[in-house]
Amino acid sequence: MVSRGRESKPHIGIYGRRNNGKSSLINSLAGQDIAIVSDHAGTTTDPVKKSFEITGFGPVILVDTAGIDDSGELGQKRVERTVRTLDLIDLALLVVTENTWGEYEDDLVERFRNHDIPFIIIHNKSDLKEPAESFRKKIKSLTGSDLFEFSVVDRRNYEDLINLIGKTIPEHSYRTPTLLGDLISYGDIVILITPIDVEAPAGRLILPQVQAIRDILDNDAVAIVLKEREVDEFLKRTGIKPALAITDSQVFKKADASIPPEIPLTSFSILLARFKGDFENYLKGTPRISGLRDGDRVLLLESCTHHVACDDIGRTKIPRWISNFTGKKIDYDVVAGLDLLPRPVTDYSLVIQCGGCMITGKQLLNRLRAAIKAGVPVTNYGMAIAYVQGIYDRAIAPFTSAGKASWL
């Protein structure tokens, strides 16, 4: 499975039947041979991610997929992998040839719409057979989209295709939002409480901490980074009144005790929850922790893979804190990366998503889509931790209208 991981560039997926020229289209857009091309149908067997810059548009990730019409047991597995790429795609290019449209294309268009993915239908190999007017009308009637004529041989309409990609791809796919821009002002001091424990990478800060520091600097504010045991002495010695304090969720209680109540306090995980999660549904779902009963099953979604420590936050600490808070016997499943769930999402009474620092907002929202659609409550690591530790209202106050009004 292709994982978008740290890539923040727009992802464009190329879909269609075998031998429709999908790989040739990628090479044409890239202006170089980065995908294997063959007259033999089915050359592309697994989704392949290619990073490059489209002249006249900018840097993108193109995802070359196996033919949607692949056959046999192995072919069906390739098709499944192709379909799974829809969780990370910002724009889909559906490639057709020879005025051919059928159930494969109907199915893809339906999947694009279910995933809220904008799409462009490209009639490739038009140097061999141009699209008929009746075919254009058929496509317009079936999909509501115009058919775009193209050929990788003579590159007809190439510039128009680049312009169409630029107009069709969602703005949020390449726009860089801000973590803290609406919370801090020029010259504000922000304290970052960052414990150095067994889960911290040797010699480095974890990604959400680095992102927060960069965002603070981008907003012309001041970042002060402290370990949790240094906060009290620092505030006492300096007399500094920070505009905001952000803590690692694992030391929420210590941070709550150290940071004066008039100073807004939240966590890195909750920042990410608002930045790229479904924050409104998290707000609705978090209090449902109190309603968990004996025998309920909770799903923890850890959207990256890492070395598992003996006191891992997702596998050990959160389950322990929730069980202690509720006093109930609860079963827990943990799924790392973008792996398939071990059971139907409706088997769960609650889904807890990590901050998602290693995946995109689209991937994260797609990860939660099935649970939300099924009415299963969802929350976030940091929000769940704050809730069971009794500081939930304070932790979310910087992002709610009532909370912001009290300190802005």
The domain ranges of the chain are 11-173, 189-271+400-407, 279-388
The two tokens of residue 126 are 């038009």
CATH of domain 189-271+400-407: 3.40.50.11420
**Architecture category of domain 279-388 in CATH:** 3-Layer(aba) Sandwich (3.40)
Return the amino acid letter for 248.
Answer: D
CATH superfamily, region 11-173: P-loop containing nucleotide triphosphate hydrolases (3.40.50.300)
- pLDDT (tens, 9 = 90+) of the chain, 408 residues, equals 444 333 457 889 999 999 898 888 888 887 765 544 444 444 444 567 777 777 666 788 888 888 898 877 888 888 888 998 898 888 999 999 999 999 999 999 999 999 889 999 999 999 999 999 999 999 999 999 999 999 988 889 999 998 899 889 877 666 566 789 889 999 999 999 998 765 556 667 888 899 999 999 999 999 999 999 999 999 999 999 999 999 998 899 999 999 999 999 999 999 989 988 899 999 999 999 999 999 999 999 987 654 444 458 888 999 999 999 999 999 999 998 777 899 999 999 999 999 887 777 777 888 898 999 999 999 999 999 999 999 999 999 999 854 454 444
CA end-to-end distance (rounded Å), the chain: 45
Environment class of 44 (CB within 10 Å of its CB; exposed 0-12, middle 13-18, buried 19+): buried
Residues 6+ away with beta carbon under 8 Å from 137: none
* pTM check: above 0.75: no
Domain 11-173 and domain 279-388, same fold? Reply is: yes
